[in-house]
Amino acid sequence: MVIGCADSRVCPSYVLGFQPGEAFTIRNVANLVTPVQNGPTETNSALEFAVTTLQVSLNIIRK
């Protein structure tokens, strides 16, 4: 799993060396993951889906 910036000039698969489709990628402004206590967000929903439904086991977070 990759959480990256929404900047369209940077492709996470190119930067990190994996092929498209090999990693679950979440992209948002400033690649931020806010605390769940602040309320639901699209990023938190995507994280929950990836871990619980897709059973993603390896998480890569790059700033």
Which positions make up the binding site for Zn(2+)? 5, 7
Question: H helices within 1-63, ranges in order?
Answer: 12-16, 42-48
Count of helix runs (H) and strand runs (E) in the chain: 2, 3
- For 3, which DSSP code? E
Which positions make up the binding site? 5, 7
